[in-house]
Chain A
């Protein structure tokens, strides 16, 4: 699957191999990790909720858009769901292409679109014991106020 949602740990080596191609001279990988802080709060763990039927369908559309737009050879993305601990991989994007320029651009395009278009939500569990749903950048851009 070029785009998938996983409820188990992502294997980055297997992900890289899935885009291996003798015609390619470049591989660009983006890994999104669970970090220990956000907006001044100490984060203990993080929870992803995914509406799979639409996320998987729209995720594949994004991959195909990247192939069409940048002319890359191969691309894939896996996004986690469920409860994740610090340093876990939340999302991985692998792009291979003949040259590095289009691979960097396509990788950036895929992760940006995945973050803003797919029905995926994350709830941060803070060291303080409080939990909050995190709103996306588009929400902030729209001027919507929230608690962060």
Chain B
């Protein structure tokens, strides 16, 4: 399946890209992050990071679907 991954803040700098299209065998958001971490060795661990799918905050165990847009958020720091 094809999905779009977007990186923010520290993740964007570590991945070296803002977004990318991934042709992937399918699975959960956590599994996609693990694959991306293998491709971008600098990505910090998933712990304390957040994930959103199609502009909705969700859990890491969410199964992904064709065409989904996955947003990887490093630990937030507003205020």
A contact residues vs B (CB 8 Å cutoff)? 32, 48-49, 51, 53-54, 57-58, 79, 90-91, 111, 114-123, 133-136, 138-139, 142-144
Contact = CB atoms under 8 A, between A and B. Distances in A.
Interface of B is mostly: loop
B9 A49 contact: yes
B9 A123 contact: yes
A60 to B, nearest CB: 14
B57 A120 contact: no
Contacts of B13: 133
A90 B10 contact: no
Interface residues of B, number: 20
Nearest to B8: A51
Contact of B76 (A57, A91, A121): A121
Contacts of A48: 78
B57 A144 contact: no
B73 interface: yes
A40 to B, nearest CB: 17
A79 B78 contact: yes
Contacts of B55: 53-54, 57
A14 to B, nearest CB: 20
B41 interface: no
12 contacts: A91-B78, A115-B79, A119-B50, A119-B52, A121-B10, A121-B77, A133-B9, A133-B77, A136-B77, A139-B48, A139-B75, A142-B47
Contacts of A139: 48, 75
A119 B73 contact: yes
B9 A116 contact: no
Nearest to B79: A115
